Amino acid sequence: MNRVPLRCQLRPCLRRGRSLRVQGRLQRGVWLLVVEDQLPKSPNLLRGQEFHSVRSQGVFVKQIIKVWQVIKRMIKCCSLLNCHTQVAILCQFLREIDYKTAFKALQEQNSHDAMDSYYDYIWDVTILEYLTYLHHKRGETDKRQIAIKAIGQTELNASNPEEVLQLAAQRRKKKFLQAMAKLYF
């Protein structure tokens, strides 16, 4: 089978995309779509699919970076509003849980949010255990019992399969973001 090199297939597509871009009709990311649309029509379909996967990977990486930046800004804003329990919950949203920030936020005495009403949104057992310790240290037995009840939920059991734990985290994320939207919007 006679295979045509990818750069030979790309030349006419790139020329067409560049000419449209020069005319001001295409932005940077859009002209890649023009190239992608032309490649599946070429004799080498597999190369077109590879090109599409490489192009789409870059788009998703850029989007993920923006999500982490938004979460960090939300953490900073909630901290400035003295909503420290919300800060601790948002620290769970990060790629790696920021325990230092979460624990520091939970230690604050002057919290302007309903601390114990947010415990149902926490899915990380370490944070819940720390809350139990804090309430015991402060002598707050009612709040301590609420934290213990949150730890005892079956979906947070460490013996559960990873899929169950991730599903529980996704549900809690969704509920928390809905609660935040109702509160601030």
From the first residue on, what is the mean pLDDT of each consecutive set of 10 residues in the chain (185 residues)? Answer: 50 51 47 49 56 54 71 94 94 95 92 85 95 94 93 91 93 94 87
pLDDT at 152: 92
End-to-end CA distance of the chain: 61
Question: So what's the pLDDT on residue 28?
Answer: 46
Q: Beta-carbon neighbour count of residue 123 at 10 Å?
A: 23
- ∠ CA 151-154-158, nearest 5°, is 75
Output b/e per residue, 63-100; b: 16+ Cβ within 10 A. Answer: eeeeeeeebbebbeebbeeebbbbbbbbbbbeeebbee
Q: Is the pTM of this model over 0.75?
A: no
Distance CA 177, CA 28 (A): 33
